[in-house]
Amino acid sequence: MVNIIIWTIAVVTVLGLLLALILYLVAKKFKVEEDPRIDEVEKVMPGANCGGCGFAGCRAFAEAAVKAPNLDNNYCPVGGNDTMTQVAAILGYEVKAKAPQVAVVRCNGTCQARPVVNRYDGFSSCAVKATLYAGDTGCSYGCLGCGDCVAACQFGALSMDPETGLPVVDEQKCTACGACAKACPKHIIEIRPKGPRGMREFVSCVNKDKGPVAKKACANACIGCGICAKTCTHGAITVEANVAYIDPAKCKLCRECEAMCPTGAIHGVNFPKPLDKDAVKERIKLRQQKAKEAAAAAAAAGAPAVAIKKADAPAEAPATAKKADAPAVTKPMEEK
Amino acid sequence: MGKRTFSIGGVHPHDNKISRECRIEPLPLASTVYISVAQHIGAPAVPVVAVGDKVKVGQVIAEPGGFVSAFIHSSVSGTVKSVGPRADLAGRPSVHIEIAVEGDEWLEGIDTSDTLVTEIPSDNKAILDKIRLGGVVGLGGATFPTHVKLSPPPGSKCERVIINGCECEPYLTSDFRTLLEKGEQVVVGAAILKQVMGGVPCTIAIEENKPEAIAHIREVIGKLGYSGIEVMEMKMMYPQGGEKQLIDAVMGRQVGSGALPISVGAVVQNVATALAVYDAVQKNKPIVDNSVTVTGECFPHQANLLVRVGTPLRYILDYLGGIPEEAAKVISGGPMMGRAVANLDAATVKGTGALLLLTEKQTRRAPESNCIRCGKCADACPMGLEPFLLNKLARAKDWDAMEQQAVQDCIECGCCLYSCPAQIPLLDNIRIGKGIVLGNIRARAAAAKAAAEAAKASADAKK
């Protein structure tokens, strides 16, 4: 009996040692050489595996970052500049700081502004709803309200406002990973620079219908009238396919377009003071009058060819006039 | 011999053909019609009229915008009021031509009499041209331009023309009434199609729940003395009217994934299309009207109406006494494949075959519960797909896997959704995946084409 036990222990021990030796040799022979920096980079990543960088997850990003010759095309929007500085330190690359970004909902068709014309009782999903028809309001471009973006957000930064029926972005939580923008079948969510102290100006509408049609569907719609583009002295606004777009790189946050927009489709957020529309309008009117007078005076002075040129490009004159009474809010831009 | 049907899947909902006794009656003209330029599959037509132009019934108002496209004709006489975007049945804006109706004056050369013309022109090319100029599209639902379907690619051979009179969707009766009231015209239309395809045999497939139509068409064929045209009585099964299902049922052949019916030697045309072909070829009459079934248990005034293309839905419903209180949804088409109308001010198109009014109780969806792996959806799928799996893949957004599972073959018949005891929105999710997979396939094809062209250009440059 004792013999059997001793033999068993002996055989198992020898077998174990033998197999361990084989395993050791095999591991040695087939070892996969992996850059140790991949693990290091992965450690400093946020670990959300959200895919906001364009790779399948944080490890995939780390592998790509280690392989790439520089970090120009690899940027983690979630970790932001802090994470990227750490990654750059590990890899010995230089990192270009990017302005922090945030998701912006480009639809302000609230329940009051955009009356419901039919009732949807199908499966509650924007993607499904979008395959079936234009939506339950007269606007075929706006928010469908089923909250696919909320479901897509891994950071809890989005929620549906029951009063407006529109998604609301929590700026503190939003990492600008872009998952919501991808999930929205109507493409109303845009990832935009957060702006200095969070201040930004954007057109909160993507309706491409002509003015009267858009206006009929939604009181807050951009009707493509182009007043904003004419008012803007920085050339930041373009109107294409009946929708205005503010280029965040050119916008100086003067809020003149917001004051002039007849439907209230242009939104400014996080400004310290509420917008005094009348004062701004008065300012613009005065400036335009001055420009007109200047043009008339130039025309009277002679050289008609020059006068025509000036009259054609009134934007030149107001730009100089504007500098004198430029609002304080342009200052933060200079800090950048 | 037992009645035939297709070999895989299918469901058998109650047929509810409650408007079967209603004769097709012409609907009085509306005061304004809105004619869409996108009434067919393919490129939208290009308007050729301007605001203020006077038009007559049958006059071309939009020309094809590509190879797969169709002519659009004015369905009324009057003045063009506007050309511009207007919300269609789904609420999506598309270009419509608005015409204010003044009288009912037809374009010269159109034979509006009821006399039956049985003499078929001998020149097939001229016939095809007349079909093209008549704006004929498949009226079974897909609205694919008929002349394109009748011009098979070189190398393929048609062996049988099938006229689809199944009308397998519950409630619909417009094809049934057409067979009964315009049987002669349909049979002559079938004979034209038969001749164009090279005199191959022709089968008119009718489901067993329409015995009057079967008897009538058999009698008409005998009376007109056509040989090679036969009526086949089909077993009731949905979706027998699907092209691939009908070929399987009639010829016992299965069309491969992504292949066209002509690959197995079949050309399928709907009964209403056969009638439109007759009108276009024998009477010079383009598609300006089509029969529309207006029905539903809650709707007291069942009707089969001959409606001019572009008539606003609200006008049709008001003519029949308005929408009843208890009706919750108006569906364009049948209950299985039809879609709820988002906009009653929208106008009918060539393919509008029915308006179905359903009550809240009939349309209510029970809450979704978990999949119990019963496999009913896979049993019901007439395309042999696995809807439960496709649903999971769609939710996981695994489009490549969906393509491997042949989601692009889905005909959106709704059998899976109909048979699911857990009320899972199978078709809703599958449709998303199908759209994306089809987009991916098209993008790949375009990229391959561009690459081939670039390679050819560089090869030419080297020479």
Instruction: Measure CB to CB from residue A133 to each of B90, B368, B425 and give the nearest one.
Output: B90
* pLDDT tier at A73, thresholds 50, 70, 90: confident
Residue B313 host element (H or E): helix B313-319
pLDDT range class, residue A12, cuts 50, 70, 90? very high
Contacts of B310 (CB under 8 A, 6+ apart): B33, B34, B35, B36, B75, B76, B96, B99, B347, B348, B349
Bond into B239 cis (ω within 30): yes
pLDDT at A303: 57
The residues facing B163 across adjacent strands are B204, B269
- Closest residue of chain B to A214, computed from CA coordinates: B93
Quick one: tokens of B460?
Answer: 């030419």
The answer on pLDDT for A308 being more than 60 is no
Q: What is the DSSP letter of A137?
A: B
Residue A118: closest C-alpha in chain B = B342
B360 → chain A, closest CA residue: A121
Per-residue exposure over A53-87, b if at least 16 CB sit within 10 Å of its own CB, e if not: bebeebbebbbbbbeeeebeebbbbbbbbebbebb
> Does the pLDDT value for residue A327 go beyond 70?
no
Distance from C-alpha of B256 to C-alpha of B261, rounded to nearest angstrom: 9
Whole-angstrom distance, CA of residue B391 vs CA of residue B423: 12
Residues of chain B with Cβ-Cβ distance to A50 below 8 Å are none
Interface with A, mutate which of B83, B96, B343, B363 (most A CBs under 10 A):
B343
Residue A334 above 80 pLDDT?
no
Note the helical H segments in A126-247: 126-132, 148-152, 179-183, 211-217, 227-231
**Average pLDDT of the residues of chain A:** 86
Residue A320 has pLDDT above 50, yes or no: no
**Mean pLDDT for chain B overall:** 92
Name the interface residues of B facing A (CB cutoff 8 Å).
Answer: 84-85, 87, 90-93, 339-340, 342-343, 363-365, 368, 425, 428-429, 431-432, 435
Q: Please give the pLDDT value at position A304.
A: 54
Average pLDDT over residues A194-220: 91
The verdict on a CB contact (< 8 Å) between B363 and A122 is: no
Return the minimum-mean-pLDDT range out of A60-74, B125-139, B252-266: A60-74
pLDDT at A316 over 50: no
Determine the pLDDT at residue A302. Answer: 67
Structure tokens at B299: 């709707």
- Give the per-residue pLDDT at B387: 96
Q: Does A124 touch chain B (CB under 8 A)?
A: no
Q: What is the mean pLDDT of residues A97-107?
A: 89
The model's confidence at residue A335, banded by pLDDT at 50, 70 and 90, is: very low
User: Among B51, B52, B49, which residue's Cα sits nearest to residue B74?
Assistant: B49
Q: How far apart are CA B287 and CA A19, in angstroms?
A: 82
Q: Is the pLDDT at B110 greater than 50, yes or no?
A: yes
Judged against a pLDDT cut of 60, whether residue A227 lies above it is answered with yes
Distance CA B90, CA B310 (A): 15
Return the residue of B nearest to A141 by Cα. Answer: B92
Task: Render the burial of A298-327: b for 16+ CB within 10 Å, e for the rest.
Answer: beeeeeeeebeebeeebeebbeebbeeeeb
* DSSP classification of residue B248: H
CB of B205 closer than 8 Å to CB of B244: no
Enter the DSSP assignment of B109. Answer: T
CB contact under 8 A, B339 and A133: yes
Query: In this predicted model, which residue has the larger pLDDT, B424 or A98?
Result: B424
d(CA A137, CA A119): 9
Residue B92 burial class via C-beta count within 10 angstroms: exposed 0-12, middle 13-18, buried 19 and up: middle
In 3D space, the residue among B158, B225, B226 whose CA is nearest the CA of residue B198 turns out to be B158
Whether residue A163 contacts residue A203, with contact meaning beta carbons closer than 8 Å, is answered with no
B417 chain-A contacts, CB cut-off 8 A: none
Across the interface, which of B339, B343, B364 has its CB nearest the CB of A132?
B339
Residue-wise pLDDT tens digits, B157-173: 899 999 999 999 999 99
Task: Name the least confident of A131-140, A322-331, B90-99.
Answer: A322-331
pLDDT band at A324 (very low <50, low <70, confident <90, very high): very low
Question: Mean pLDDT across the stretch B359-388?
Answer: 93
Inter-residue contact A65 to A88 (CB < 8 Å): no
Q: What is the pLDDT of residue A188?
A: 94
pLDDT at B376 over 80: yes
Give B449's pLDDT tier (boundaries 50, 70, 90): very high
CB within 8 A of B311, min separation 6: which ones? B27, B30, B33, B75, B347, B348
Q: B94: burial class by Cβ within 10 Å (0-12, 13-18, 19+)?
A: middle
DSSP B346-412: SB--TT--EEEEEEHHHHPPPPP-------HHHHH-TT---HHHHHHHHHTT-HHHHHHTTGGG---
Instruction: Please answer whether residues B416 and B423 qualify as being in contact, where contact means their C-beta atoms are separated by less than 8 angstroms.
Output: no
Strand partners, A104: A190
**pTM for the structure as a whole:** 0.81
- B76/chain A closest Cα distance in angstroms: 26
Distance CA A199, CA A335 (A): 14
Which one of A116, A119, A131 would you mutate to disrupt binding with B, by most B Cβ within 10 Å of its Cβ?
Answer: A131
Instruction: Give the tokens for residue B237.
Output: 């099964």
* H helical segments located in B155-255: 174-181, 183-196, 211-224, 243-251
- Does residue A310 register a pLDDT over 50? no
State the virtual CA torsion across B184, B189, B190, B192 in degrees, nearest 10. 130
CA-to-CA dists, residue B203 to B4, B124, B147, B198, B226, angstroms = 13, 20, 20, 15, 12
Reduce the DSSP state of residue A172 to 3 states and report it: coil
Tokens of B123: 């020149």
Give the C-alpha separation, A114 to A207, whole Å: 12
Comparing C-alpha atoms, which of B246, B241, B181 is closest to residue B217? Answer: B181
pLDDT at A100: 86
How would DSSP label each residue in B265-300?
TEEEEEHHHHHHHHHHHHS---S-EEEEEEE-TT-S
The answer to whether the Cβ–Cβ distance between A122 and B428 falls below 8 Å is: yes
Q: Give whole-number Cα distances, A173 to A177, A183, A303, B91, B281, in Å.
A: 11, 18, 60, 36, 67
Tokens of A85: 């500085």
For residue B359, list chain A residues with Cβ-Cβ distance below 8 A: none
Averaged pLDDT, B368-394: 94
Q: Output the DSSP codes for A20-82.
A: HHHHHHHHHHTPPP--HHHHHHHHHS------TTSSSSHHHHHHHHHHSSSSSS---TTTHHH
Q: What is the ipTM metric for this complex?
A: 0.85
Token pair of A12 as six digits: 């198992």
pLDDT in tens, B313-322: 999 999 999 9
Nearest Cα of chain B lies from the Cα of A7 at a distance, in angstroms, of 52
Share of chain B above pLDDT 70, in %: 100
Q: How far apart are CA B177 and CA B19, in angstroms?
A: 9
Between CA A292 and CA A181 the distance in angstroms is: 44
Q: What is the pLDDT of residue A321?
A: 41
Query: In angstroms, what is the C-alpha Rg of chain A?
Result: 29
> Tell me, what's the pLDDT at B319?
94
Cross-chain residue pair A128–B428, CB shorter than 8 Å = yes
pLDDT of amino acid A331 = 40
Q: Does position B191 have pLDDT exceeding 80, yes or no?
A: yes
Instruction: Kindly report which listed range (A86-100, A228-242, A303-317, B44-58) carries the lowest average pLDDT score.
Output: A303-317
**What percent of chain B stands above pLDDT 90?**
79
- Report residue A124 as tokens: 């509650």
CA distance A234 to B225: 81
Q: A241-293, pLDDT tens digit by residue?
A: 999 999 999 999 999 999 999 999 999 999 998 888 899 999 999 998 999 99
Segment B395-410 mean pLDDT: 93
CA nearest B241: which of B210, B213, B278, B269? B269
